[in-house]
Amino acid sequence: MSAPADASAKAQIAFSDLTLGYERHPAVHHLSGTVHEGTLLAVCGPNGAGKSTLLKGITGALRPLGGGIDLKGLSTRDIAYLPQGAEIDRSFPISVFDMVAMGLWRRAGLFGGIGAKDRERIEAALAAVGLQGFETRPIGTLSGGQMQRTLFARLLLQDARLILLDEPFTALDASTVADLVALVGRWHREGRTVMAVLHDFEMVRQTFPQTLLLARGPVAWGPTRDALSPENLLKARRMGEAWHQDATSCTRAA
Amino acid sequence: MTAYEVLVAPFAEFEFMRRALVGVLALSLGAGPVGAFLMLRRMSLTGDAMAHGILPGAAIGFLMSGLNLFAMTIGGLIAGLVVAVGAGVVARATQMKEDASLAAFYLISLALGVMIVSLRGSNLDLLHVLFGTVLGIDDATLLLIAGISTVTLATLAVIWRPLVLECVDPTFLASVSRAGGASHIAFLSLVVLNLVGGFHALGTLLAVGLMMLPAATARFFARDLTALVTLATLVAAASGVAGLLVSYHLGAPSGPAIILVAGCAYALAVLFGPVGGLIGRLVPRRHLEA
């Protein structure tokens, strides 16, 4: 199964019979296909369908149990990853400005200075997410929405070719979601590849041209309208969530 | 008594007081920042465990060559690193949680250290190892402490960014760089180094006090990292000076006096600290407009 995007686009990620999981139990099972450069792809599916696992696999945090992921020459520095409910120590005494400045790691690294030009870029990123005036606020004083805006500002500065978002709009109000979705649209127009794990089908239908419907194995992958058809959604919902403790080795041909 | 007699004369008149002064000031330069990061990384207990872990190593050094600076320093360094690595390995390789494995390590280390020192030395030697002799610092020890502080500040400058980032957002650091693990090991080494430095002045049991108490005190005043680290260093230095004076005027043992002064600063901070202090919570001021 593969996304039949226009043939002229270059491949950005190629999954070949990819199986990812934990303790030999597959969470993503035999996924093959290609994400083309510049694709705006929603990853949907029930809880436990392997959506987050797939993103972790792409970042390299999780080794495949089988098959492989070809990133077509992208290095880890070209990938920006926003994990689900990022494990951030909100009590750490650091300001919004410094938090966002971390997005410059790719350029500044361990020792590179943050010059006047970088400060301008940081200010611009803060403005783009609507957080002007928050520069000196400690991150511990931010609301959930403001924190997510901060993380998006950091993503902006990362200037990555591939952007992976894991449930980026959960528990946010409508205006915050609208602002952040606008940023995702901007990345799409800039030709970056964006993959986002989402649960809100309405939003996916409106904003994401391509969808991968995952239920451990791929259920559908293609234009959102087709992928999220009622039959496909029903199929995805039937997937059993539980591991089978006594599952035997998978014998499906590689 | 004039202010001069209380504050300056002890240092002006006695060389051992001047040495002790330089010693605690140099120690504070390293202990302040290291303590601040220990606290922020939620490793306060790790520092404690490592401080105890140094004891058997220093004791073996003592057993082999008496109160010899070099032997006890090397022994302490090796033992401290063994505990740091060992506790981490036990926690990762078995089902034991890190805090419990650290507690196990430091209790064993403490008992072992006391046992080894008693094999050869007197009770006085034991007191020396456990609580240090800040008033008996010689040139070599001063150089050692100053050297350790210098190395500490230089290393912290190098690993500052990954160290901060690993506390705030470890997943992000892992996604952009592999410096996280290396900087963690470098930091653990700094902790051991500073504990060994502090051990000569304050003893194995109290060396960690000059790290943790000033850092915890500073946390009640500082809202950002630079202020926290600076303040922790200042509190450590001030506690050192004040503790030496208290010990001089009251004839009290100097190591405990220094730590107790730091303890008083901490108690005051808990009560009156503007960032989350007790009084501020119990007697809230009227809320603001916006």
A154: closest chain B residue by CA: B172
Q: Considering its fold, how many domains does chain A have in total? A: 2
Tell me the pLDDT of chain B averaged across its residues.
88
Decide if A84 is inside a domain.
no
Specify whether A201 is located in the same domain as A100: no
A93 in Cβ contact with B222 (< 8 Å)? yes
Q: Which of B173, B175, B178, B223 to mutate to test the interface with A (most CBs of A within 10 A)?
A: B175
More confident residue, A253 or B215: B215
More confident residue, B145 or A7: B145
Half-sphere exposure of B158 (CA within 13 A, CB side): 13
Contacts of B174 in chain A (CB under 8 A): 61
Can you tell me the distance from the alpha carbon of A87 to that of A85, in angstroms, rounded to the nearest whole number? 6
pLDDT in tens, B224-266: 899 999 999 999 999 999 999 999 999 988 999 999 999 999 9
Q: Where does the pLDDT of residue A8 fall: very low under 50, low under 70, confident under 90, or very high at 90 and above?
A: low
Specify whether A168 is located in the same domain as A150: no
Specify whether A171 is located in the same domain as A52: yes
pLDDT the model gives residue A244: 66
Q: Where does the pLDDT of residue A148 fall: very low under 50, low under 70, confident under 90, or very high at 90 and above?
A: very high
Q: Which of A77, A102, A139, A157 to mutate to test the interface with B (most CBs of B within 10 A)?
A: A102
Contacts of B172 in chain A (CB under 8 A): 81, 86, 102, 154
> A1: helix, coil or strand?
coil
Specify whether A124 is located in the same domain as A220: no
Mean pLDDT value of segment A69-82:
88
Nearest to B177 among A86, A92, A105 (CB): A105
Q: Which of A62, A77, A88 to mutate to test the interface with B (most CBs of B within 10 A)?
A: A88
Nearest to B224 among A59, A77, A94 (CB): A94
Q: Judged by CB atoms within 8 Å, which residues 23-82 of B form the interface with A?
A: 40
Tell me the pLDDT of chain A averaged across its residues.
87
Specify whether A150 is located in the same domain as A175: no
pLDDT the model gives residue A242: 54
Specify whether A140 is located in the same domain as A185: no
B176: closest chain A residue by CA: A77
Q: Where does the pLDDT of residue B284 fall: very low under 50, low under 70, confident under 90, or very high at 90 and above?
A: confident
CATH code, A25: 3.40.50.300
Among A91-95, B74-78, B87-91, B207-211, the least confident range: B87-91
Domain that holds residue A59: 1-74+161-241
Q: Judged by CB atoms within 8 Å, which residues 162-201 of B form the interface with A?
A: 162, 164-165, 167-172, 174-177, 179
Q: Where does the pLDDT of residue A245 fall: very low under 50, low under 70, confident under 90, or very high at 90 and above?
A: low
Specify whether A51 is located in the same domain as A166: yes
Specify whether A53 is located in the same domain as A165: yes
In this prediction the ipTM stands at 0.79
Residue A105: which of B157, B172, B187 has the closest Cα? B172
Contacts of A80 in chain B (CB under 8 A): 175
In sequence order, which residues have a C-beta less than 8 Å from that of residue A177 and are 6 or more positions away? A169, A203
Distance of residue B157 Cα from the nearest chain A Cα, in angstroms: 9
Looking at residue A198, its amino acid is: L
Specify whether A23 is located in the same domain as A40: yes
Mean pLDDT value of segment A171-175:
88
Helix axes B44-65, B123-131, angle to 10 degrees: 140
Mean pLDDT value of segment A10-29:
88
Half-sphere exposure of A153 (CA within 13 A, CB side): 30
Q: What percent of chain B has pLDDT over 90?
A: 41
Please give the domain boundaries of chain B with CATH numbers for all domains: 3-282 (1.10.3470.10)
Decide if A248 is inside a domain.
no
Distance of residue B101 Cα from the nearest chain A Cα, in angstroms: 24
B159: closest chain A residue by CA: A110
A87 contact B CB<8A? yes
Specify whether A103 is located in the same domain as A48: no
B158 contact A CB<8A? yes
pLDDT in tens, A76-125: 788 999 988 767 888 899 999 999 999 998 777 777 778 889 999 999 99
More confident residue, A97 or A254: A97
Q: What is the pTM of this model?
A: 0.84
Specify whether A167 is located in the same domain as A112: no
Contacts of A83 in chain B (CB under 8 A): 171
pLDDT the model gives residue A6: 54
A40 in Cβ contact with A206 (< 8 Å)? no
In sequence order, which residues have a C-beta less than 8 Å from that of residue A161 and are 6 or more positions away? A12, A74, A78, A79, A192, A193
Beta strands in B170-282 (DSSP E): none
Contacts of A180-184 with CB under 8 Å at 24 or more apart are A180/A129, A180/A148, A180/A149, A180/A152, A181/A207, A183/A128, A183/A129, A183/A152, A183/A155, A183/A156, A184/A40
Sheet architecture: strand order including A25-36: A25-36, A11-22, A66-70
CB pairs under 8 A between A and B: 61
pLDDT the model gives residue B106: 81
B274 contact A CB<8A? no
> Of A125, A159, A193, which residue is a domain's last?
A159
Structure tokens that stand for B262 in this block: 């730091």
pLDDT the model gives residue B96: 74
Specify whether A171 is located in the same domain as A214: yes
Mean pLDDT value of segment B32-41:
94
A105 contact B CB<8A? yes
Residue B145 falls in which region: left (phi positive, over 0), alpha (psi -120 to 50) or beta: alpha
Q: Where does the pLDDT of residue A223 fall: very low under 50, low under 70, confident under 90, or very high at 90 and above?
A: very high
> Of A140, A159, A178, which residue is a domain's last?
A159
